[in-house]
């Protein structure tokens, strides 16, 4: 999905460049909070990991193979800010060194592949982890769904950028159908690999998974044959426990709100892709529609049944609708949560 | 100053894989300070992207300009063309464009092609190729460390530059780690053939992440024990004289003249 020079016109490239610069600036600040002064070496090594893992090809079928994009994986493993930074640095280096993606299209590429994938996947992940029952399995399920949504979301973002500043005269419907159709399939691969990778890391070093920090068990000692909680160091444990019930309520309210929004948005969104499908059908491009019709079934098999399934069966509109609204909904709650972070951070960064 | 001093200073880090993009030579282009080259390449690409696609001759002139730079940089044509291959996936897309685009159609060799699509394909191909060629010239005449210094000089946040330099320094280490894991898998008879083997690959990726992260922690401790306090000392500060700036900016300025002519003619 690396966009070359000349594919998006100059004003749009400049605008996305500003968006990318702002997001990177925010992430630099946020990454310092996630990693403090270890930011440079750790984020650098994680960026090297993302770079390497993008070279890890996994066979799909009939001789074709895909590779990971890594936005969702980075966000879940090291946190959203560091994730944005790592993927942006990878894209920057790919653009400057390997000529992979144009220099003027750097803003487009970072916005699309670093910011949208990371933010969308992390928002979805966060909400699901809050709502699903605690445990490793729910982290795996949440990372599956997060990665699944993140790739089509990037395709949607690309289509939007194309709609604003595309230089070619291919109709928006065709671009949307091709991009989103293909990327739903890619998203399935991304989701499976991301979930398995996160699961593998959680099995060995759960403390390294940023997204699973809430799951850490308290240390227990066996005293006279009975398990006894180790006393909390000094008041650090009490604050989050007190805040916990209200936070959970907050997140459930958030999810309900965003689902209500999802109903509204996907109502509007659903008429649009149907139109696109019709265009595609008229133009004899229905092979692609066939593709994502079949792509629905593996999605339907997995995890989150109640809400996601109903939307997914509606087709791509649902994926987009839920993705967008979960982001919109959780953005509000993120702001609220951000205020609370100072009293939570001592516990979350204590074990390294 | 420039590449001549830089190569003798180059540490073992920079001899690795990514470095193969650099082509060692002694040329006026190699000797330019990195930030002037970065600015020139970026300015050139911006100008190219803003050129109207109907001015076909302008793109020819741009190609000639790049050819002149390549000649001065002693980058052989074969090397440049081989590097351009990275663009191939997009060429395939561009070739499709005349068939799917809207607008009036024209018959060429019995195929019905869209006029707008042909223009679009030409637009993407010409601008994309020139952009890739400019990036390739930049990467093949500038060392990695210099490139990073140049980015820092152009006011990229120092933290971002540090992250990028760590990524480049350890990119090879991590890639080698991945290669060793692949060899270990294969020597135990594993061959990834389909979806059923994704689990094994994902476990490798997980192990790779843990190794990378732990290495990052060790690197940080090593740095702290050597007095790191959040910023890297810059010992080889590069500055550019007015003459070097004007020499570097000759490329985008010439391109700008062509672009303005392209808009007016």
Whether residue B92 is found in the same domain as residue B36:
yes
Task: Read off the tokens for B67.
Answer: 């050819």
Overall residue count recorded for chain B in this entry: 265
The answer to whether B131 and A4 have CB atoms below 8 angstroms apart is yes
- Residue carrying the six token digits 């982001």: A327
**Residue B232 falls inside a structural domain:** no
Return the pLDDT at A258.
56
Whether residue B50 is found in the same domain as residue B170:
no
What's the pTM? 0.73
For residue A21, the chain B residue with the least C-alpha distance is B156
For residue A192, the chain B residue with the least C-alpha distance is B198
Measure the CA–CA gap between B185 and A299, rounded to whole angstroms.
30
Inspect the interface and report whether the beta carbons of B124 and A6 lie closer than 8 Å: yes
Whether residue B182 is found in the same domain as residue B195:
yes
Measure the CA–CA gap between B128 and B265, rounded to whole angstroms.
23
Measure the CA–CA gap between A205 and A197, rounded to whole angstroms.
12
**Mean pLDDT, residues B185-205 taken together:** 84
Measure the CA–CA gap between B226 and B223, rounded to whole angstroms.
5
The answer to whether A174 and A41 have CB atoms below 8 angstroms apart is no
Measure the CA–CA gap between A180 and A151, rounded to whole angstroms.
9
Residue A241 has pLDDT above 60, yes or no: no
Is A30 an interface residue toward B (CB < 8 Å)? no
Residue of higher predicted confidence among B177 and B22: B177
**Residue B11 falls inside a structural domain:** yes
Inspect the interface and report whether the beta carbons of A44 and B166 lie closer than 8 Å: yes
User: How many angstroms separate the first and last alpha carbons of chain B?
Assistant: 42
Q: How confident is the model at residue B64 (pLDDT cuts 50, 70, 90)?
A: very high
Residue A299 has pLDDT above 60, yes or no: no
For the residues of A169-216, what is the DSSP string, one character each? ---HHHHHHHHHHHHHHHHHHHHHHHHHHHHHHHHH-GGG-GGGGGGP
**Residue A30 falls inside a structural domain:** yes
**Residue B134 falls inside a structural domain:** yes
- Residue carrying the six token digits 């100059």: A10
Distance from CA of A271 to the nearest CA of B (A): 22
**Which helix (H) or strand (E) is B163 found in, with range?**
helix B158-187
Q: Which chain B residues touch A41 with a CB distance below 8 Å?
A: 166, 216-217, 219-220, 223
Measure the CA–CA gap between A142 and A326, rounded to whole angstroms.
13
A66-101 residue pLDDT tens: 677 888 888 988 889 988 989 999 998 888 887 777
Residue of higher predicted confidence among B99 and A200: A200
Buried b vs exposed e over B15-38: b needs ≥16 C-beta within 10 Å? ebebbebbbeeebebbbbbbbbbb
What CATH number is given to the structural domain containing A93? Answer: 1.10.1760.20
Residues 6 or more apart whose Cβ sits within 8 Å of residue B179 = none
Measure the CA–CA gap between B22 and B221, rounded to whole angstroms.
31
Inspect the interface and report whether the beta carbons of A53 and B223 lie closer than 8 Å: no
Inspect the interface and report whether the beta carbons of B49 and A4 lie closer than 8 Å: no
Domain with A18 in it: 10-216+233-348
Positive/negative CA dihedral, A258, A261, A265, A267: positive
Domain count, chain A: 1
Whether residue B113 is found in the same domain as residue B74:
yes
Domain count, chain B: 2
For residue B103, the chain A residue with the least C-alpha distance is A169
Best probe of the B interface among A8, A36, A48, A77, by most B CBs < 10 A, is A48
In this complex, the residue of A41, A68, A193 whose CB is nearest that of residue B220 is A41
Inspect the interface and report whether the beta carbons of B217 and A193 lie closer than 8 Å: no
Q: Which chain A residues touch B136 with a CB distance below 8 Å?
A: 99
**Residue A274 falls inside a structural domain:** yes
In this complex, the residue of A44, A167, A174 whose CB is nearest that of residue B167 is A44
Best probe of the A interface among B49, B86, B116, B185, by most A CBs < 10 A, is B49
Of A13-27, A318-332, B57-71, give the lowest mean pLDDT range: A318-332
**Mean pLDDT, residues B79-94 taken together:** 79
Distance from CA of A112 to the nearest CA of B (A): 17
Q: Is A7 exposed, middle or buried (0-12, 13-18, 19+ CB in 10 A)?
A: buried
A271-294 residue pLDDT tens: 444 444 444 444 444 443 333 443
Whether residue B171 is found in the same domain as residue B97:
no
A90-139 residue pLDDT tens: 998 888 887 777 888 889 989 988 999 999 999 999 899 888 877 778 88
C-alpha dist (Å) from residue B16 to B97, B138, B149, B172, B173 = 39, 18, 18, 6, 9
Q: Which chain A residues touch B130 with a CB distance below 8 Å?
A: 5-6
Return the pLDDT at A98.
78
Return the pLDDT at A303.
35
Q: Return the bridge partners of A166, or none.
A: A8
Return the pLDDT at A130.
85
For the residues of B79-123, what is the DSSP string, one character each? HHHHHGGGGHHHHHHHHHHHHH--S-EEEETTEEEEHHHHHHHHH
**Mean pLDDT, residues B196-215 taken together:** 87
Task: Read off the tokens for B73.
Answer: 């940089």
Whether residue B60 is found in the same domain as residue B146:
yes
**DSSP character at residue A113:** I
Return the pLDDT at A122.
92
Whether residue B62 is found in the same domain as residue B114:
yes
Is A39 an interface residue toward B (CB < 8 Å)? yes
**Residue A147 falls inside a structural domain:** yes
Residue of higher predicted confidence among B231 and A244: B231
Q: Which chain A residues touch B52 with a CB distance below 8 Å?
A: none
Q: Which chain A residues touch B79 with a CB distance below 8 Å?
A: none
Of A35-49, A225-239, A312-326, B25-39, give the lowest mean pLDDT range: A312-326
Whether residue B168 is found in the same domain as residue B110:
no
**Residue B83 falls inside a structural domain:** yes
Distance from CA of B242 to the nearest CA of A (A): 25
Whether residue B10 is found in the same domain as residue B133:
yes
Residue among A161, A163, A88, A158 nearest A118 (CA): A88
A170-196 residue pLDDT tens: 778 888 888 888 888 888 888 988 898
Is A21 an interface residue toward B (CB < 8 Å)? no
Q: Mean pLDDT of all residues in chain B? A: 81
Task: Read off the tokens for A122.
Answer: 């992390």
Is A69 an interface residue toward B (CB < 8 Å)? no
- Residue carrying the six token digits 């003619």: B265
Residue among A176, A170, A160 nearest A12 (CA): A160
Inspect the interface and report whether the beta carbons of B216 and A46 lie closer than 8 Å: yes
Best probe of the A interface among B133, B167, B251, by most A CBs < 10 A, is B167
Q: Which chain A residues touch B87 with a CB distance below 8 Å?
A: 4, 99
**Residue A224 falls inside a structural domain:** no
Inspect the interface and report whether the beta carbons of B169 and A44 lie closer than 8 Å: yes
**Residue B194 falls inside a structural domain:** yes
Return the pLDDT at A64.
62
Inspect the interface and report whether the beta carbons of A168 and B164 lie closer than 8 Å: no
Residue of higher predicted confidence among A234 and A141: A141
Q: Which chain A residues touch B90 with a CB distance below 8 Å?
A: 4
**Mean pLDDT, residues A212-239 taken together:** 67
The values of phi and psi at residue A23, to 5°, are -65, -40
Inspect the interface and report whether the beta carbons of A59 and B194 lie closer than 8 Å: yes
Measure the CA–CA gap between B6 and B145, rounded to whole angstroms.
8
Side-chain half-sphere exposure of A245, counting CA atoms within 13 A: 2
Query: Cα A173 vs. chain centroid, distance in angstroms?
Result: 25
Whether residue B142 is found in the same domain as residue B206:
no
Measure the CA–CA gap between B210 and B262, rounded to whole angstroms.
54
Residues 6 or more apart whose Cβ sits within 8 Å of residue A206 = A136, A212, A215, A216
Cβ-Cβ pairs closer than 8 A, A with B, add up to 270
Distance from CA of A20 to the nearest CA of B (A): 13
Domain with B242 in it: 2-151+237-264
Q: Return the bridge partners of A66, or none.
A: A58
Q: Which chain A residues touch B134 with a CB distance below 8 Å?
A: 103
**DSSP character at residue A217:** P
SS3 A226: strand
Whether residue B31 is found in the same domain as residue B121:
yes
Query: Which 324-343 residues of chain A touch chain B by CB within 8 A?
Result: none
The values of phi and psi at residue B110, to 5°, are 80, 0
Residue of higher predicted confidence among A7 and A247: A7
B102-147 residue pLDDT tens: 666 676 666 777 777 788 888 888 888 898 899 888 888 888 888 8
**Residue A123 falls inside a structural domain:** yes
Alpha-helical regions (H) of chain A = 10-35, 39-53, 71-78, 80-98, 106-109, 117-131, 136-165, 172-204, 238-282, 286-301, 310-313, 316-348
């Amino acid at each position: 999905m690396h966009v070359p020079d000349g594919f998006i016109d100059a004003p749009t490239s400049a605008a996305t460049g500003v968006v990318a610069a702002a997001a990177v600036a925010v992430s630099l600040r946020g990454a310092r909070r996630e990693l403090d002064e270890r930011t440079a070496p750790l984020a650098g090594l994680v960026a090297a990991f993302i770079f390497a893992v993008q070279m890890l090809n996994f066979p799909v079928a009939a001789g074709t193979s895909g590779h990971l994009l890594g936005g969702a994986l980075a966000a879940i493993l090291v946190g959203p800010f560091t994730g944005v930074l790592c993927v942006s640095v990878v894209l920057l280096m790919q653009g400057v060194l390997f000529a992979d993606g144009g220099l003027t299209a750097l803003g487009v590429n970072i916005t699309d592949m670093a910011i949208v994938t990371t933010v969308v996947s992390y928002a979805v992940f966060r909400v699901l982890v809050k709502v699903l029952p605690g445990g490793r399995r729910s982290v795996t399920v949440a990372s599956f769904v997060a990665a699944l949504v993140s790739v089509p979301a990037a395709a949607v973002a690309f289509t939007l950028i194309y709609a604003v500043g595309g230089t070619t005269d291919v109709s928006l419907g065709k671009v949307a159908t091709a991009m989103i159709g293909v990327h739903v399939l890619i998203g399935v691969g991304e989701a499976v690999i991301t979930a398995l990778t996160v699961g593998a890391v959680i099995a060995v070093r759960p403390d390294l998974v940023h997204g699973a920090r809430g799951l850490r068990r308290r240390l227990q000692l066996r005293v006279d044959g009975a398990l006894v909680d180790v006393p909390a160091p000094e008041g650090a444990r009490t604050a989050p426990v007190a805040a916990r019930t209200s936070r959970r309520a907050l997140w459930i309210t958030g999810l309900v709100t965003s689902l209500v929004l999802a109903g509204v948005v996907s109502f509007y969104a659903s008429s649009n892709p149907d139109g696109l499908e019709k265009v595609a059908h008229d133009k004899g491009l229905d092979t692609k529609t066939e593709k994502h019709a079949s792509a629905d079934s593996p999605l339907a098999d997995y995890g989150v049944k109640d809400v996601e399934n109903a939307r997914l069966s509606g087709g791509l509109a649902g994926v987009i609708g839920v993705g967008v609204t979960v982001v919109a909904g959780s953005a509000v709650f993120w702001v609220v949560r951000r205020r609370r972070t100072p009293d939570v951070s001592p516990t979350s960064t204590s074990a390294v | 100053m420039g590449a001549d001093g830089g190569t003798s200073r180059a540490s073992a880090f920079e001899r690795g894989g990514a470095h193969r993009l650099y082509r060692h030579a002694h040329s006026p282009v190699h000797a330019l300070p990195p930030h002037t080259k970065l600015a020139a390449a970026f300015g050139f690409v911006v100008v190219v992207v803003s050129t109207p696609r109907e001015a076909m001759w302008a793109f020819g002139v741009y190609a000639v300009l790049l050819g002149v730079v390549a000649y001065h940089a002693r980058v052989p044509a074969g090397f440049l063309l081989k590097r351009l291959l990275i663009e191939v996936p997009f060429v395939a897309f561009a070739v499709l464009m005349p068939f799917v685009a809207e607008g009036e159609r024209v018959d060429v060799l019995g195929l019905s092609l869209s006029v707008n699509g042909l223009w679009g394909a030409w637009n993407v191909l010409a601008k994309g190729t020139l952009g890739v060629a400019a990036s390739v010239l930049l990467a093949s005449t500038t060392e990695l460390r210099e490139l990073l210094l140049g980015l820092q000089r152009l006011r990229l946040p120092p933290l971002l530059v540090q992250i990028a330099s760590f990524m480049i320094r350890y990119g090879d280490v991590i890639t080698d780690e991945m290669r060793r894991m692949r060899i270990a898998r294969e020597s135990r008879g594993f061959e990834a053939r389909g979806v059923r083997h994704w689990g094994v690959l994902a476990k490798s990726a997980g192990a790779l992440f843990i190794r990378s992260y732990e290495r990052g922690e060790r690197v940080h401790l090593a740095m702290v024990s050597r007095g790191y306090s959040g910023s890297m000392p810059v010992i080889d500060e590069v500055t550019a004289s007015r003459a070097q700036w004007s020499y570097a900016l000759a490329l985008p300025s010439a391109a700008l003249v062509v672009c303005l002519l392209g808009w007016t003619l």
